[in-house]
Structure 1
Amino acid sequence: MLEEEYQVRRKLPAHLRPKAPEPEQFAYSVRAATAEDLPSIRAIYNHYVANSTVTFDEKPMALRELRSKFAHVQKLGFPFIVAQSPSGEILGFAYVYPWKEKAAYRFTVENSIYLGPAATGKGLGYALMDELILRSKAAGIKEIVAVIADRGAEGSIRLHEKFGFTEIGRMGRVGFKFGRWLGTILMQKSLK
């Protein structure tokens, strides 16, 4: 018998070969945030404070400060949501906050969405944005404004565009972080 024939016969038929394990699916559920989630939310946010220009904060957020913001959002009846893995890990969060504190702005908010570093690129931002918009409508919000860094946040710009946000303006050199000047891109979506 020739070596080539032997090699062909040595292989098991396809139906008898062991199957490769299927890749794990990225599973999560989206729900309202609770006070117990705040340490995990803070850890995700502070990762971006320390490592990116998507937030202009330069000092890590204190838990006390986050608790205050969370309480204010709840008092207003605005959405503050998290994505949670089946094991209970917080993978990302999103919320809306008053655009300005003056009464005439009461139907306009600014949105924020942050994902844990291991949860990016898996469709989680899309799921959080979709739910955030639905809950914002239910809360009576009419306008959502996004303030996005003009460098390093291309994914955020694309996500907002997918949901119908349109660019309404730019501000140059309004932030200074990591030794360089940064601007912002303003985007807006009307909820009808």
Structure 2
Amino acid sequence: MKTATEADLPAIAEIYAHYVERSVATFELVAPDETEWKQRFAAVTGAGLPFLVARDADAVVGYAYCSPWKTRPAYRHTVEDSIYLAPAAAGRGIGGLLLDELLARCAAAGIREVIAVIADPGPANASPFLHRRRGFAEAGRLTGVGFKHGRRLDTLLMQRSLTVPD
């Protein structure tokens, strides 16, 4: 797992566009363009938060980052994680490696709480399993909060506390 750079953003955008257009893993309806990805990248890295890529040979096959959970100052030690894999990379353990590194870097950055917001947490979705295996616990469920591809969708909230010094 490596720290992402701006040069990785086209590959990241391509991976994410797949999920925007063909799945309910994200509630975005239009894939972000290059300018938007540069802004997101700058916001994450500018906040001192991790933005990672996984590579297979020279190709980016997945990425993960954390963004602030809320903008109010009292939430400054809480983040939301995002992990996406190229479809061909699924089932190879890459998501777990990305999440492990993301959690380690969050702890090093002084983050105390990591939230996963998982859309459509049905049996075909590997994300709840991935997060449970890394110590996340179910924190709640929001029913029918999303609507995409003609479906009402739930989200599962999962949370992990990190041990960091005061």
Question: Could you tell which deviates more after superposition, 160-169 or 60-69?
Answer: 60-69
User: Distance between the aligned counterparts of 2:121 and 2:20, measured in 1?
Assistant: 15
Residue 171 of structure 1 pairs with residue 142 of structure 2: yes
SS at match of 1:93: strand
Q: Which runs of 5+ in 2 are unaligned?
A: none
* Higher fraction of strand: 2
Write the deviation string for residues 40-67 of structure 1: whole angstroms up to 9, x where unpaired. 0000000000110010011111111111
SS at match of 2:41: helix
User: How many residues align structurally?
Assistant: 162
TM-score w.r.t. the length of structure 2 is 0.95
User: Distance between the aligned counterparts of 1:103 and 1:129, measured in 2?
Assistant: 25
Which residue is equivalent to 1:4?
A: none
Alignment identity in percent?
51
| RMSD of equivalent CA atoms | 0.9
Which residue is equivalent to 1:7?
A: none
Residue 155 of structure 1 pairs with residue 140 of structure 2: no
Higher Rg: 1
TM-score w.r.t. the length of structure 1 is 0.83
- Equivalences for residues 8-157 of structure 1 within 5 A: 30-86=1-57, 88-151=58-121, 154-157=125-128
Q: Which runs of 5+ in 1 are unaligned?
A: 1-29
Are the counterparts in 1 of residues 117 and 158 from structure 2 also a CA contact under 8 Å? Answer: yes
Write the deviation string for residues 105-159 of structure 1: whole angstroms up to 9, x where unpaired. 0000000000001100001011001100011111111000000013456200000
SS at match of 2:105: helix
Tell me by how many angstroms 1:85 deviates. 1.6
Could you list the structure 1 runs, at least 4 aligned residues long, displaced by more than 2 angstroms after superposition.
Answer: 150-154
Are the counterparts in 1 of residues 52 and 102 from structure 2 also a CA contact under 8 Å? Answer: yes
